């Protein structure tokens, strides 16, 4: 039996101003997989993730999620259908407590769902229960990243889009974040992750997609991409 497909991009062109930044982009993501997006600064990785969540200007092509076209839906509608997005950079509320951040993450849920969503995250990430009253800005970088993932996971997405979750983290925090991504995936969530930490990302991924100048350059199983001389040279330090 063929693998179920959760996300399918067909010839997508997307950007911000008059012209698309990412173009001719086609990609099929199997349910339950982890896909890493690799590319130099400015290659269009964030632009592609943002397009899947509906934050850009759509120039053309189709985005199918769970077999339905979603390219005309707004981000909150995509979230309600099961796409969660953690943007690049710190995106919690640093002057609010961990608990308040977790409560904010439930904004699309009703009261009863919200309470059980917070409880689920505290069970999944006991660290957040211990830190409940602490200001989010006082967590370590890795803990903040986990909080941000938890805030999005409260909506129970089937597909989680992560833009550079390991950015600026110490090696210990970095390992913690990659382990967390693997664990989330182990619970059945499909993951698409943009990473500059190519070594770490390839270790947890099934598939890697390399972007250059707004287009797909190479795509393949993570284990093969790791051995590709062009990729080793450009992204893995030779
Ligand atoms: N809000 C915006 N308005 C206009 N152009 C933008 C905007 N955001 C990004 N761009 C442009 O789109 C192109 C791709 O940027 P993008 O942020 O997607 O790259 P990236 O691969 O995520 O890079 P990085 O590794 O630095 O995060 C760049 O030329 C950038 O200047
Ligand atoms: Mg980016």
pLDDT in tens, 199-229: 999 999 999 999 999 999 999 999 999 999 9
Helix, strand or coil for residue 54?
Answer: coil
The total number of structural domains in the chain stands at: 1
- Looking at the DSSP bridge assignments, the partners of residue 124 are none
Give per-residue pLDDT as tens, 65-121. 999 999 999 999 999 999 999 999 888 999 999 999 999 999 889 999 999 999 999
Element (H, E) at 24: strand 20-30
Q: Whose CA is nearest to atom 2 of ligand 1?
A: 16
Distance 224 CA to ligand 2 centre (A): 24
Q: Which domain holds residue 160?
A: 5-235
Q: Is 44 in the pocket of ligand 1 (CB under 6 A)?
A: yes
C-alpha distances in angstroms, 44 versus 12, 37, 38, 74, 163? 12, 10, 10, 21, 12
Could you tell me the CATH number of the domain that includes residue 192?
A: 3.40.50.300
Q: Residue range 163-173: average pLDDT? A: 90
Q: What is the pLDDT of residue 99?
A: 97
Q: Is residue 1 scored above 60 in pLDDT?
A: no
Q: How far apart are CA 122 and CA 9, in angstroms?
A: 34
Instruction: Please tell me whether the overall predicted TM-score, pTM, comes out greater than 0.85 for this model.
Output: yes
């Amino acid at each position: 039996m063929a693998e179920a497909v959760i996300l399918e991009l067909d010839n997508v062109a997307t950007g911000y101003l008059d012209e698309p930044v990412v173009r001719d982009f086609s990609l099929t993501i199997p349910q339950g997989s982890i896909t890493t997006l690799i590319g130099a600064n400015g290659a269009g990785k964030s632009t592609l993730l943002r397009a899947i969540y509906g934050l850009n200007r759509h120039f053309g092509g189709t985005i199918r999620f769970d077999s339905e076209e979603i390219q005309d839906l707004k981000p909150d509608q995509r979230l309600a259908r099961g796409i969660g997005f953690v943007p690049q950079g710190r995106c919690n509320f640093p002057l609010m407590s961990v608990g308040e951040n977790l409560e904010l993450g439930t904004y699309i849920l009703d009261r009863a769902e919200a309470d059980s969503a917070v409880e689920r995250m505290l069970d999944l990430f006991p660290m957040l229960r211990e830190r409940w009253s602490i200001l989010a800005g006082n967590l370590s970088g890795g803990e903040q990243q986990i909080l941000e993932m938890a805030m999005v996971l409260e909506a129970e997405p089937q597909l989680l889009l992560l833009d550079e979750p390991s950015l600026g983290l110490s090696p210990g925090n970095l390992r913690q974040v990659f382990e967390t991504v693997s664990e989330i995936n182990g619970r059945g969530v499909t993951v698409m992750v943009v990473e500059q930490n190519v070594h770490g990302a390839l270790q947890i991924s099934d598939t890697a997609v390399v972007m250059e100048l707004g287009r797909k350059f190479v795509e393949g199983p993570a284990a093969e991409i790791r051995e590709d001389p062009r990729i080793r040279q450009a992204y893995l330090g030779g």
